[in-house]
Structures are given as structure tokens and as C-alpha cells.
Structure 1
Amino acid sequence: MQAYVDKFRKDVATLEQRANGRVTPAMLSPVRVAVPEYESADGRGVKLEEVATVGVRDGTTLIVTVFEEQTLKHVEKALYDAKLPGVVPQKADSRTIKIPIPKPTVETRLAMFSTAQRQAEDTRVLIRKQHQASVKKGGYEKHAPEIKEFQTLLDKFLAEVDKILAEAKKSSGAK
């Protein structure tokens, strides 16, 4: 259950960072590049950092520089396929892609918060499923003290998710 809460906290922090307009190379960390020469074992492609460097210029533009020219088209395709909000790659030269990141608007902040709300509900569902699986696996009697302990843990983690969401709401300016 703690792992689900930690992942949710990390996802919300990423969303808040984007909503506040901070441009960092970490924005492109979810991008996976399908390069035939470097294909990963799970078939999902390799991380962008393994085939290119990502830097920030002027605080508003990401610069992706590939190590080898022939991988540029694969990187460009991966950036489009990632469907990251506000990310529109522009080829600068044979090894470089510029990605201007627009300043966040009120609408984008609200969209980030609604995404956080959806993720919060998904996290709550995962935590409840974990709770049910733990109780079922233990095979406890109806009024066993262990069941009360599990319920206390469930309530604690659900409250933590709600607290993280409330902080995100406050920082995004949503009503």
C-alpha cells in the first residue's frame, strides 16, 4: 500500500512541476525510444537518456541531442508518440531537436489537477484491492484483531492520498 502512495506522490510532484512552469529534463523521462539496434528485453524501447542528452536552454526550451544521427528519426517519433502535453518537437539540425515548452495557463493547471484527481482515485482502488487481498490471504475470522489492524492501515493510506491531493489542489489554484 505504501508503494502505491509513494508512486502517487511522485506522479503528483511531476504534475505540479509542469503546472508551475518549471522546465526540466525530467519532463521527458517517460519517453521510450524504439531503436532496433538498442531494443530492450521487454520490447518497450530504451529510455531517451540512453540514446540522447536532454538539456534546458533559456529556461523555456528543452534541447535533445542524439548521440548518433541515425537515431534522430526514432527519437522524434518517440517524442510524438509519448503525447506529452505541450511537447511539440522541432528538428534543429541533424542531431538536435528543440522542444519549446509553453507557459502554463489556468486551463492547463486545472487539467493537471483533474489528472491528479483521476490518479488519486486509481491509487485508492489499488490500495483497497491490496487490503482485500491481504485480508483474504490471511484467512482471519470475522472479528479478528488483525482485520482491525488492516482497516487502520487502509484508512491511514487513503487519508495520505487525500492529503496529497489536497496539497495539489491548493498549489494548482483549483476550486
Structure 2
Amino acid sequence: MFVPASQRISAGDVYFKAEDGMKAVVDRYRKDLAALDARASGRVTPGMLAPVRVALPGQDAKVKLEEVATVGVRDGTTLVVTVFEEQTLKAVEQAIYDAKLPGVIPQKTDQRTIKVPIPKPTVEARQQLATTAQRHAEDARVHVRKHHQTAAKKGGFKKHSEELDELQKLCDRYIGEVDKILTEAKKKAK
């Protein structure tokens, strides 16, 4: 059957699309591990409270913490949350509790400020990092393989074709990159 050139998918397009997808997976994995590493290493950053969502009185939807307060770091071990309006303090304090961040207990200091001491990471926290990194690595590998399969189907490559071999090399390269990132994370966790 003849397929017009305008309707054919070139092998290069499929390859580059697969490569972009695989690269995005590896970049997302690297970013996720960096966030985990920051928590397990004991570095205190305002981003630690990013998952906190505040339920304001009279509003149906929850809002991000940074929409109602600023978060700063004091002494490298404590986060300081300063609300914009005094009446939101109680809701912010409750939201920090509700976020169930491990070992985090907010302490009200005045009408607009909450201190959040961040505990030092334990050996268990570092081991948890390694376990979580392993789980995320497997997810990343699965997504890289899915991009490989999708590209192979879209390209309609025959078994043992040169295009399929190149696609497999690409897949192997990105899976190797995931493994390398995982090895580094495990070294840091020790």
C-alpha cells in the first residue's frame, strides 16, 4: 500500500519525540530526588512547607501557604511563617498540622508569626530516602520504556531494524542515567 510522503512519520521525528519524553522523565526524577535529598540532609528551606494548603474561613477551596503568608528561615533550623492578616493565623497553624510533615510541630509566637522548628534528620530518614529513591527510579525506568514502546509502535519499525536498534540504545542510555542518579542518591543516604 502506498502512503503519501505527507502522511508518513519519519523515523527522525519519532526518535526525537521519544528522546524528548525520556529526557523529561529523567529531569523530573532528578528534581524529585533533589527535593527528597534536601529533606533528608537537614537543609531547612521554605519549600519544605510547599505541600501545606490552608482552608480559610468562608472559602470552599484551599489556598497555598504562600498566598496567605511568607516563609523564612531562622538559624538554619527553624522556619518562620508570618501571615499577612492576623485572622488567618489559626487556619495557617491548623494547615501545618494537617500537612502531617514528619516531626514538624508549629508554635505560635505572636499574633502574626508561627515558628516551625525542623528536627534533625535521623538515620531512618536517610534510609527512607534510599527506599523512596529506589521506588522513584523504578517508576522513571517504566516511563522511559513506555516512551520507547510508543515510539516503536508509531514508527512501525520492523524487528531487528536499524531504527529500532537506535531507539533501544536511546532507551538504554536514559535508563543508565536514572541508575547513575540513583547510585548518587544512595551514596548520600549513607
Task: Give the TM-score category using the shorter length.
Answer: 0.7 to 0.9
Q: Label 1:130 to 1:86 Cα distance change in 2 as closer, same or farther (>3 A).
A: farther
Question: Aligned AA for 1:92?
Answer: T
Partner of 2:77: 60
Cα displacement (A) at 1:94: 2.8
For the 8 Å contact 1:16–1:112, the answer to whether it is kept is: yes
Choose which of 156, 159, 179 in structure 2 pairs with 1:139: 156
**How much has 1:103 moved relative to structure 2?**
0.9
For 1:1-175, what aligned pairs fall within 5 Å after superposition? 1-35=22-56, 45-173=62-190
TM-score under structure 1 length normalisation = 0.84
Q: Alignment partner of 2:138: what SS?
A: helix
Of all paired residues, the percent bearing the same amino acid is: 67
> What are structure 2's unaligned runs of at least 5 residues?
1-21
Instruction: Work out the number of aligned pairs and report it.
Output: 169
Sort the Cα spacing of 1:119 and 1:139 in 2 relative to 1 into closer, same or farther, 3 A: same
Q: Is the radius of gyration larger for structure 1 or structure 2? A: 2
Q: How much does 1:82 deviate?
A: 2.8
Distance in 1, matches of 2:34 and 2:54, equals 24
RMSD over aligned Cα atoms = 2.1
Distance 1:146 1:36 in 2: 59
TM-score scaled by length of structure 2: 0.78
2-structure distance, mates of 1:51, 1:106? 34
Matched letter for residue 141 of structure 2: R
